[in-house]
Amino acid sequence: MKRSKTSKAWMASHVRDPFVQQAKKLGYRSRAAFKLLEIDARDRLLKPGALVVDLGAAPGGWSQVAAQKVGRTGRVLALDLMAMPPLPGVEFIQGDFTEQAVQEVLEQRLAGRPIDLVMSDMAPNISGIGIADQAKSQHLAELAMAFALQWLKADGVFLVKLFQGSGFEAFVSEARRRFSRVELRKPQSSRPRSREVYLLARQPRGAL
């Protein structure tokens, strides 16, 4: 099947993308690594010895950065529906985070230890139906926040990708109610035309 003009144009743009080129040069698995690097440089999320959970981890750009930052004394647990080739310093779980059984596997790996940072770059498979895709995206963000509120340390941090649209403002308001500090970030490495932003929340006030 021939590619559509739209997909060809996207691929051409993707190949020319300076962050894609830089990711290849530096050995990062995705351009998304630069989003986390930029946010971390500003907000100091990743610290040596920290326990980090990376939801929606594949292909592994964020996990790579996290593993480098937390070092040998830290721990990175990554989860994704898609398979992800092994990464040094990263424990990977393949499964659908929306399924209770998969969440239980992740919780078993934690063995009761509270988390320093929960980060979620999860996004649904795009159907092209805007309302449905936005609803799915919001649902994933809500699941990630519920997990973070249950497992974060008192001074823990939650970083989640959101898409501006229906339900966005309500989610931000709920986050402000559940965390002591909430800010929004739009990294330079995030494509300007993308509706994605990252919500950064600190110090959970309690579980759902």
The total of structural domains in the chain comes to 1
Q: Could you tell me if residue 181 is inside a domain? A: yes
Q: Could you tell me if residue 74 is inside a domain? A: yes
> Tokens at residue 69, please?
């930052």
Q: Which residues are designated catalytic?
A: 161
What pLDDT, on the 0 to 100 scale, is given for residue 11? 38
pTM of the full predicted structure? 0.88
Q: From the CB of residue 129, how many other CB atoms can be counted at a distance below 10 Å?
A: 10
Q: Helices 18-26 and 32-43 meet at what angle, rounded to 10?
A: 90
pLDDT tens per residue, range 14-71: 446 776 777 676 768 888 999 999 999 999 999 999 999 999 999 999 999 999 999 9
- Structural domain including 84 reads 29-204
Q: Could you tell me if residue 5 is inside a domain? A: no
> Tokens at residue 159, please?
């970083």
Q: Could you tell me if residue 137 is inside a domain? A: yes
Binding site feature residues: 60, 62, 80, 96, 121
Beta bridge partners of 51: 75
Binding site feature residues for S-adenosyl-L-methionine: 60, 62, 80, 96, 121
